[in-house]
Structure 1
Amino acid sequence: MSIDLRHRVLRAMREGAWPHTAAERFGIAIATAVRWRSQDRASRSDPLPMGGDRRSGRIEAQAAFLQSLIDGKDNITLHEMQRRLADERGLKVGIGTLWRFFNRHGTTLLISTES
């Protein structure tokens, strides 16, 4: 949802619209309108962005380690990388996390997902 939509919903509620009415008018969930109003009253600042990536920082911090795994072997599986992260760094991540990491970094290696 856009920040503009949130501003319009909050403006309507500040002008006296009930959350249910504002939600219906702008086509959002009632719970969303209630949450935005509660946040607005508590902070009187811009609503926080919703969604998005909140956890990639954990895997991004291991970029050098992951690169060393690729540089050190001709053929390494995602499962092996996953195991090495857990064993050597104490970081448990899913195969999808590793896949998205390499995709974000434009790594175009032939990486097997088999154990």
Structure 2
Amino acid sequence: MIQDAGWSRRPASMTRPLSNDLRERVVGAVLAGESCRSAASRFGVAVSSAVKWSQRYRQTGSVAPRKMGGHRKRVLDAHRDFIIERINAIPHLTLHGLKDELGARGIKVSHHAVWLFLRREGLRFKKNSSRPGAGTRRRRPQTAALAIGAGPDRSTAAGLHR
């Protein structure tokens, strides 16, 4: 039989807050004079949880968890017209360039936020004639310097092998 060396087996991530009853018992033990570390050990919770619950109780008078999740307001929705105008005016505008232009207007956003906004709006940076993209090497025509010296005679004559 293999011993566990004192480590408790807990799930890697918690999907919801622990019960208020457990929180109240841990905070009650701390208020009664027990240390956060010993109260956490006795009730089988992390020391950081006991500390945070005690701090929350001292600040708010409640051990109840704060609201989880929610919906974040989309910052760029208010600037939709400006963004579309800039994309239409400068077809080769990059995401970073658009982010920099928004920053110049005082709108602090990340590159990812700009990308998500454009994706939600259905705007794409497609490769087309006004916005040339990287092609494959096989499709590019050879330069004149390479085309002149290319041939089977030259490589064998110089003693080069492929």
TM-score when scaled to structure 2? 0.45
Provide the C-alpha distance between the structure 2 equivalents of 1:10 and 1:77, rounded to a whole number of angstroms. 50
Question: Secondary structure of 1:5's partner?
Answer: coil
List runs of 5+ in structure 2 lacking aligned partners.
1-13, 128-162
Go from structure 1 to structure 2 and tell me whether the alpha carbon gap of 1:63 and 1:11 turns closer, same or farther (over 3 Å shift).
farther
* 1:16 aligned residue: 29
Paired letter, 1:78: L
Aligned partner of 1:93 among 81, 103, 109: 109
* 1:38 aligned residue: 55
* 1:109 aligned residue: 124
Asked whether the 8 Å contact 2:76–2:117 carries over to 1, the reply is yes
* 2:83 aligned residue: 66
List runs of 5+ in structure 1 lacking aligned partners.
none
Aligned residues: 107
Aligned partner of 1:25 among 44, 69, 74: 44
TM-score when scaled to structure 1? 0.57
Paired letter, 1:80: G
Deviations 1:58-114 (A, max 9, x none): 445434433443455555321221121022x222333123223445x36352368xx
Asked whether the 8 Å contact 2:40–2:50 carries over to 1, the reply is yes
Go from structure 1 to structure 2 and tell me whether the alpha carbon gap of 1:110 and 1:2 turns closer, same or farther (over 3 Å shift).
same
Q: Tell me: higher relative CO, structure 1 or 2? Use CA pairs within 8 A at least 6 residues apart.
A: 1
Asked whether the 8 Å contact 1:76–1:111 carries over to 2, the reply is no
Question: Secondary structure of 1:91's partner?
Answer: coil
Identity of aligned residues (%): 24
